[in-house]
Amino acid sequence: MRNKYLFFFFIILISYGCAKDEAPKIDLNVTGGQVDGQYQSSTQTITFTTNKSWTATVTSSGAWVDTPPAPWASVSPTSGKAGTITLNLNMQANPSYQDREALVTITAGTVSSTFTLRQDGAPPTVIIDKTMQNVGYEAGSATVAVSTNGAPWSLTGLPSWMTASSAGAYIATNVTFTYQANLLAIARVANVVFTSLTATKTHVITQAAAPATISIDQSAKTVESVSGSFSVAVTTNSATWKATGVPAWVTLTPSESTGSGNVVVNYTQNTTNTPREATITFTAGSAVKTLTLTQLRTGGYIDGGNL
C-alpha cells in the first residue's frame, strides 16, 4: 500500500513539473494586426488568451512622434493572470488632421505579441485671428495669423491691387497683405479666403476711399450775346460732384453726377446792354473748381466787332 501512495505522489510531481515548464503562449484575436478607431474619444476591445501572467504596454509608433508611451492611448487592465482576457483600448480625441498610431505589446513570460492601434485624424480646421480689417487709402500692409490642425491651407480671392506674403502652407504663420494706394473716391473691398480642404475662413479687408479730386477742362469762357451752348469736361476720381452758383439764364446737363463726363452748358440770349457773368462752382468732397462764364451785351462780338 505504501508503494501505491508513493507511485501516485510521483505522478503528481511529474504532472506539476510539466505544467510548470509549459512554454508561454499568447493567442491574440486581432485581425490584420491592427485596431482602428475614429478621431473622437472612444474605447475599443480585443481579447487574447495566455497561459501565463501577462502585462500590456503602449508605446509610440514610427513617424507618429509622440513622447512614449503614446499619451493619447492607454490599455486597461495593464496586467493579469493566465486565462482569456478582454483588453480595453482607450483613445483620447485626436485634434489633429493627421492619423496617429501606437503599438500595444502584450508580454507573457518570455514571449510577447504586438499590434498597432491606429486612430483617424480629425476633419480639417482653419483658424484666423481676425475676420476683418479697415485700412487707409494710402499704400500699406495688414497681417493675419492663420493656423490649421495640421492640414494644408491655401489662399484665394486676392484682388489685383493686393499681394500676400504666402499663398499656402502646412504650418501656422502670419500672412502679410500688401496693398496699393486707393486712388478712387470710393472704398474697395478684398474678400480673401483661407481654405483647408473642406474648411474655409474669409477675411475682409476694406480700404478707405481716397479724398475726392475734380478737374474741368476750362476755367473761363466768354460767349456772345445770343443763346447757345458749349461743353465742359468734368473729371473726378469716381467722386460724386455737384455744380452750384448757376444763374437763371444758364442750365447745366447734368448739374450733378458721379465720376467723369461732359456737362452741356446752355445759356439764353442776353438782351441787355451790359455783359453778364456767372461763377459756376464744381464741388467733389472738399475739392473745388470754378468756371467763370461771361456773356457779352447785345451787339457785342468776341471777334472784335462793335462791343
- What architecture is the 24-119 domain classified under in CATH? Sandwich (2.60)
Distance CA 208, CA 189 (A): 9
| pLDDT digit string, tens, across residues 32-45 | 999 999 999 999 99
| pLDDT digit string, tens, across residues 246-281 | 999 999 999 999 999 999 999 999 999 999 999 999
- Asked whether residue 305 carries a pLDDT value surpassing 70, the answer given is no
The per-residue pLDDT for 61 is: 75
Binned at pLDDT 50, 70 and 90, residue 62 comes out as low
Q: Determine if the peptide bond prior to 69 is cis (ω within 30°).
A: yes
The per-residue pLDDT for 21 is: 64
What percentage of the chain has pLDDT greater than the value 90?
A: 85
More confident residue, 278 or 61: 278
- Region 270-299: mean pLDDT is 97
- Asked whether residue 65 carries a pLDDT value surpassing 50, the answer given is no
Average pLDDT, the chain: 91
Distance CA 300, CA 292 (A): 18
CATH 2.60.40.10 maps onto the chain at 24-119, 126-207, 214-295
Distance CA 216, CA 263 (A): 10
Class of domain 214-295: mainly beta
Topology of the domain covering 126-207: Immunoglobulin-like (2.60.40)
- Asked whether residue 306 carries a pLDDT value surpassing 50, the answer given is no
pTM for this model (two decimals): 0.79
**3-state SS, one letter per residue, for the chain:** CHHHHHHHHHHHHHHHHHHHCCCCCEEEECHHHEEEECCCCEEEEEEEEECCCEEEEEEEECCECCCCCCCCEEEECCEECCEEEEEEEEECCCCCCCCEEEEEEEEECCEEEEEEEEECCCCCCEEECCCEEEECCCCEEEEEEEEECCCCEEEECCCCCEEECCCEECCCEEEEEEECCCCCCCCEEEEEEEEECCEEEEEEEEECCCCCCEEECCCEEEECCCCEEEEEEEEECCCEEEEECCCCCEEEECCEEECCEEEEEEECCCCCCCCEEEEEEEEECCEEEEEEEEECCCCCCCCCCCC
Binned at pLDDT 50, 70 and 90, residue 15 comes out as very low
- Region 277-296: mean pLDDT is 98
- Asked whether residue 304 carries a pLDDT value surpassing 80, the answer given is no
